């Protein structure tokens, strides 16, 4: 449940914006990487702090600042001072539970997303908070944990092909958002494979473990939908924004990302229906199995009713019973019981009751 609803760490009545609480002394400081590039060059730096990153920004180049780690609030407060980032934006950057959204400010626009990954061993989705502040010639990318999708964008910069070196920060922001959303495609694919595997196992050998697997997968699909659905609203707001930092040339690319998100959400809806059908199948199969067991027990009980009747009669302790002194009485009674039981079995078999 904590993944679906996280209690805010902010105290009631506290002022809005970033609250200065550093945890760097506990080893949770932020790592910084700066990539400065133009059409003909690409330089990578690893400054010790955000102040050291400021001189690396050049007007004739596009700069991409990667900040990994969101718990050093002093560092984020300083970043807000250096780059004129609103305190409410800084608050959202350091809040790992904040849902995806888009906000437009005077000198930048801000996008926060959730990068998702699926662990097929325990059928659980993990999330990683990522945020972008896009400025005139600068993109600040903040992530809670190292993101593997960044490497794909870095490789494109290193190759120097296409528009990424020349199209400015707006296109870089598009490439980063696209990489994060594409990661969701992989997650959906892994969930689909897991669901299909569970479905095949259910058809071959239904067992109680399948109920737990279905419920776990349903919970993860709901969690996935909760994290991805707000991305659609954020992208729509970005596309409709009139910010000069969102070039017209990149809007159609953002529309393509929106199409990807809609496609993923359709797949998620289908997964929810499939899992509901699997749950119905499991409950129906269990009900049918229980009916079969009850039918078998009922037939057995029905067969033994007349046999119990005969045994009850000859189990009475009356002295004068004609058959008690008969030499073949015992064997005749057992034979009669066998004949009655056999006749009932044949009758039930012809009726198709078992």
DSSP secondary structure of 128-197: EEEEEEE-SSEEEEEESS--THHHHHHHHHHHT-TTTTTSHHHHHHHHHHHHHHHHHHHHHHHHHHHHHH
pLDDT bin (cut points 50, 70, 90) of residue 9 is low
Domain 286-351 falls under CATH 1.20.58.340: yes
Model confidence over 255-283: pLDDT tens digits? 999 999 999 999 999 999 999 998 888 88
Q: Would the pLDDT of 236 be above 80?
A: yes
pLDDT bin (cut points 50, 70, 90) of residue 337 is confident
- SS3 for 245? coil
pLDDT of the residue at 259: 92
The pTM is what?
0.77
Name which residue leads in pLDDT, 215 or 3: 215
Structure tokens at 335: 């034979």
pLDDT of the residue at 11: 55
Q: What is the mean pLDDT of residues 297-301?
A: 80
pLDDT of the residue at 13: 46
- DSSP assignment of 274-291, as one string? HHHHHHHHHHHHHHHHHH
pLDDT bin (cut points 50, 70, 90) of residue 134 is very high
pLDDT of the residue at 132: 92
Model confidence over 142-168: pLDDT tens digits? 988 888 788 888 888 888 777 888 888
Q: For CATH 3.30.460.20, list the domain ranges present in the chain.
A: 24-284
Q: What is the mean pLDDT of residues 26-45?
A: 79
Q: For CATH 1.20.58.340, list the domain ranges present in the chain.
A: 286-351
pLDDT of the residue at 4: 55
Percent of the chain with pLDDT over 90: 12
Q: Which residues contact 166 (CB under 8 A, 6 or more apart)?
A: 39
Q: Would the pLDDT of 93 be above 70?
A: yes
Q: What is the mean pLDDT of the chain?
A: 83
Q: Would the pLDDT of 25 be above 60?
A: no
C-beta neighbour count of 339 within 10 angstroms:
10
pLDDT bin (cut points 50, 70, 90) of residue 1 is very low
Q: State the greatest distance between any 2 C-alpha atoms of the chain, in Å, as a whole number.
A: 121
Name which residue leads in pLDDT, 222 or 24: 222
pLDDT of the residue at 139: 92
- CATH code: domain 24-284 is 3.30.460.20
Q: What is the mean pLDDT of residues 298-322?
A: 78
Q: Would the pLDDT of 19 be above 80?
A: no
Q: What is the mean pLDDT of residues 226-235?
A: 90
């Amino acid at each position: 449940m904590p993944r679906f609803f996280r209690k805010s760490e902010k105290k009631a009545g506290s002022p809005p914006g970033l609250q200065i609480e550093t945890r760097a002394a506990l080893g949770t400081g932020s790592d910084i990487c700066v990539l400065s590039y133009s059409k003909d060059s690409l330089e990578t730096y690893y400054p010790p702090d955000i102040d050291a990153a400021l001189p690396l920004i050049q007007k004739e180049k596009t700069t991409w600042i990667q900040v990994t780690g969101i718990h050093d609030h002093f560092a984020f407060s300083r970043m807000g001072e250096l780059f004129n980032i609103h305190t409410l934006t800084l608050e959202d950057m350091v809040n790992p539970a904040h849902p995806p959204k888009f906000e437009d400010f005077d000198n930048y626009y801000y996008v926060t997303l959730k990068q998702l990954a699926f662990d097929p061993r325990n059928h659980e989705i993990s999330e990683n908070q990522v945020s972008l502040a896009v400025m005139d010639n600068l993109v600040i990318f903040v992530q809670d944990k190292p993101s593997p999708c960044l490497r794909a964008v870095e490789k494109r910069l290193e190759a120097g092909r296409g528009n990424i070196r020349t199209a400015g920060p707006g296109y870089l922001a598009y490439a980063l958002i696209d990489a994060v959303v594409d990661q969701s495609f992989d997650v959906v694919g892994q969930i689909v494979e897991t669901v299909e595997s569970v479905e095949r196992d259910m058809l071959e050998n239904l067992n109680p473990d399948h109920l737990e697997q279905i419920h776990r997968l349903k919970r993860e699909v709901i969690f996935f939908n909760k994290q991805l659905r707000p991305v659609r609203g954020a992208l729509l707001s970005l596309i409709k924004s009139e910010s000069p930092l969102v070039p017209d040339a990149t809007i159609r690319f953002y529309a393509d990302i929106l199409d990807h998100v809609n496609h993923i959400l359709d797949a998620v809806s289908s997964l929810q229906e499939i899992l509901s059908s699997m749950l119905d199948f499991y409950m129906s199969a269990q009900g049918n199995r229980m009916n079969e067991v009850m039918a078998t027990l009922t037939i057995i009980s029905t067969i033994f009713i007349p046999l119990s009747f005969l045994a009850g009669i000859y189990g009475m302790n009356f002295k004068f019973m004609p058959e008690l002194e008969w030499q073949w009485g015992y064997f005749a009674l057992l034979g009669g019981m066998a004949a009655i039981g056999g006749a009932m079995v044949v009758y039930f078999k012809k009726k198709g009751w078992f």
